[in-house]
Amino acid sequence: MLYSFPGRQFLLLTCAVVTSSAAFAQDNGCSVFEGCNSCDRVDEIFSPCQVCCGTLFQWSCTNLCTGGPDLDAPLVTDRPDFTEASSTVGLGVAQLEVGYTYTRDDNATGRTRSQSFPEPLLRYGILQDWLELRIGWTYNIEDTNGVQVDGGDDLYVGFKIGLTPQQGLLPEMALIPQVTTAAGAAAFTTNEFLPGANWIYGWEINDCLSTAGSTQFNRSIDDGTGEAYTEWAQSWTVAYSLSDQLGAYTEWFAFIPHSADTAATEHYFNGGFTWLLSDDIQWDIRAGTGLNGAAADYFIGTGLSLRYR
């Protein structure tokens, strides 16, 4: 999702290879062949389990792949929580996620009220089911002590790579190399190329409960001095299915600067609800609060996600 918190970023393409049990090592000559134009088995060339999979790797080598996007199931979105989904949208599928966020922050330096919209994140499956292109941007209106500025944010570009399906206690995983570019308005651009990466891991516990986390790092710019530093971000979310249409989540996330001049660690807690209007349309609402003095006081938001297949 994209909203008025620091983003995440970088770029990598890979294509795939061998798998084994809990480590991605070759075992008994068994491998999964990726990058093919069709998903037919090629037993005469590779043995004994070469198939095109919905994820780049499999936790164990069998004749059948598990995991990957399921277009017969309702859409899986990256919003409204901070933790991205650990799955991709699927080859040839486009998914547009938009929203609005209002944030309030009163501190020793003054009072800030900010709005961001329409927070579009376009996700499109390319080349294989396990790879998606991601493009995001948003518009900001910010009022600090009665002085208002507005304009577009820097452009976000990334690739989500579906790494593994869930197998028992072994998680479904994805990796997002990502970057933001200096394309925003003067009040909001960093004037820098800011790469990073986001590692996501999730578990479906049962039909009603799932959990996931993310660990990421991004190059960032200190607001006080303009110097670059590395910003880490950590999150953990728990999602609940309350009915076939209604879902909910609760989440903690934090921004953790490393070697920053003035930036401080920020902790947040948030939660929200999702309503499935159809298998391809989802509406959401959310609210969150800062847990320490460096964090914003609170934020609220809503959004809509649409899948085109």
49 has pLDDT over 50: no
**Is residue 81 in some structural domain?**
no
pLDDT digits (tens, 9 = 90+) for 93-107: 999 999 999 999 998
Same domain for 106 and 60:
no
Confidence of residue 6 (pLDDT cuts 50, 70, 90): very low
Same domain for 160 and 48:
no
For residue 254, the domain's CATH number is 2.40.160.40
What's the per-residue H, E or C state across 198-219?
EEEEEEEEECCEEEEEEEEEEE
CB 102 within 8 Å of CB 114:
yes
Domain holding 44, by residue range, is 14-66
pLDDT mean over 273-297: 97
For position 223, what pLDDT does the model report?
87
Mean pLDDT estimate for the chain? 85
For position 110, what pLDDT does the model report?
84
14 has pLDDT over 80: no
The residue type found at 213 is G
Write down the pTM of the prediction.
0.82
33 has pLDDT over 70: no
Same domain for 223 and 159:
yes
pLDDT digits (tens, 9 = 90+) for 161-196: 999 999 999 999 999 999 999 888 888 999 899 999
For position 197, what pLDDT does the model report?
98
Same domain for 233 and 157:
yes
Q: How many domains does the chain have?
A: 2
What are the backbone dihedrals phi and psi of residue 42, each rounded to the nearest 5 degrees, phi first? -125, 60
For position 47, what pLDDT does the model report?
37
Rounded to whole angstroms, how far apart are CA atoms 83 and 80?
A: 9
